[in-house]
Amino acid sequence: MADELVHYAVQRGIATITLDSPHNRNALSAQLRRELRDHLTAAIADDAVRVVVLAHTGTVFCAGMDLKEAGGASTEQQGVNEFPAILEQLWTSPKPVVAKLAGPARAGGVGMVAACDIAVASETATFAFSEVRIGVVPAVISVTVLPRLLPRAAHELFLTGETFDAERAVRIGLINASVPADGLDAEVDRYTKMLALGAPNALAATKEMLREPRTGDMEQDFTDMLELSAKHFAGEEGQEGIAAFVQKRKPSWVPQDN
Ligand SMILES: CC(C)(COP(=O)([O-])OP(=O)([O-])OC[C@H]1O[C@@H](n2cnc3c(N)ncnc32)[C@H](O)[C@@H]1OP(=O)([O-])[O-])[C@@H](O)C(=O)NCCC(=O)NCCSC(=O)C[C@@](C)(O)CC(=O)[O-]
């Protein structure tokens, strides 16, 4: 059996999914995509998992689609058709997903970063939508990237394929924070601890709310949101959270050591 290219570990409610194919810079080969999908499915289904961290070994987070496998194959054969399922899992996961980048991301790799809720990178990480430079199009990833980027930035970065640094990635809203390499673990821990303070159903509903476009009819939007709000105030979590606040204690979903 081939060695695993993606590892999965759950500790104290945090599922860490680690891309481990450094020889090809964690490129999205068929095997890596299959394993990544399976681990995301497991994390999403496991009630004990509160937050997912997408991490990597080696110097590069992800170099995008595997170009050696893809070379000369049709879209169908190379499995690009399967990649949207991974982006969708990241985007719609009811648990918050944090991307942890100690190094660069390219093309499809940046699409995954954009699909995560939070992204933290070492300040030496770089990014590029390099697709046009190899004659392909950032089409699939545009679904997760465009809602994160201003149209100006998207036009410039998609069309030039230029490499940009972590500071610029923060400025344009592609990632949340860029930190010195030796501070990466601590910054990701800080985010996962904050995310574990949120109630699981409330987080899932908030993610869904952030994804759903409003109708554009303000009255209708307020009616819909009032309904959502009322449901959560009256729900088990809402009642527990409010009681915990009044009684000056931690709500039941907060880990004891948080
Ligand atoms: C990532 C850096 C900056 C690291 O830069 P580096 O650390 O200097 O590494 P390197 O460039 O020396 O590469 C090291 C090894 O990794 C391999 N490698 C590296 N990348 C890939 C890859 N993608 N697929 C397969 N193999 C790859 C590369 O071929 C080499 O293998 P070796 O020569 O030792 O046998 C650099 O390697 C690089 O620029 N890679 C190419 C990135 C790229 O152009 N990606 C485009 C992917 S297309 C895509 O994702 C399409 C999609 C999904 O967006 C379409 C859509 O949205 O519709």
CA of 185 to the centre of ligand 1 (A): 25
% residues pLDDT > 90 (the chain): 89
> For this structure, is 237 an active site residue?
no
pLDDT, residue 95, reads: 98
Query: Does residue 254 lie within any of the structural domains?
Result: no
DSSP class of 92: H
Amino acid, res. 242: I
Is this complex scored with an ipTM above 0.95? yes
**What band does 76 get if pLDDT is binned at 50, 70 and 90?**
low
218: Cα separation from own chain's centroid: 30
Give how many domains the chain has, as a whole number: 2
Helix, strand and coil percent figures for the chain, each rounded to 5: 50, 15, 35
For residues 88 and 129, membership in a common domain is answered with yes
Residues 188 and 209 in one domain: no
Instruction: For residues 115 and 223, state if they share a domain.
Output: no
Q: Is residue 112 part of a domain?
A: yes
Residue 99 domain boundaries: 6-196
112-138 confidence digits (pLDDT tens): 999 999 999 999 999 999 999 999 999
Residues 226 and 156 grouped into a single domain:
no
Position 55 in a domain: yes
Residue 253 lies in a domain: no
5-28: per-residue pLDDT in tens?
Answer: 999 999 999 999 999 999 999 999
- Asked if residues 116 and 144 have their Cβ atoms less than 8 Å apart, the reply is no
Q: Which of 131, 156, 187, 236 is catalytic?
A: 131
pLDDT for residue 213: 78
**Nearest atom within ligand 1 for CA of residue 109:** 50
Measured distance CA(229)–CA(205) in Å, rounded: 10
pLDDT the model gives residue 152: 93
Please state, in angstroms and as integers, the Cα–Cα distance from residue 132 to each residue in 20, 169, 213, 222, following that order.
27, 19, 29, 42
CA-closest residue to ligand 1 atom 31: 24
Our answer on whether the CB atom of 24 is closer than 6 Å to any ligand 1 atom is yes
Whole-angstrom distance, CA of residue 107 vs CA of residue 236: 42
Q: Tell whether 227 and 155 lie within a shared domain.
A: no
Query: How many whole angstroms separate alpha carbon 91 and alpha carbon 95?
Result: 10
pLDDT of 254 above 70: yes
210 shares a domain with 138: no
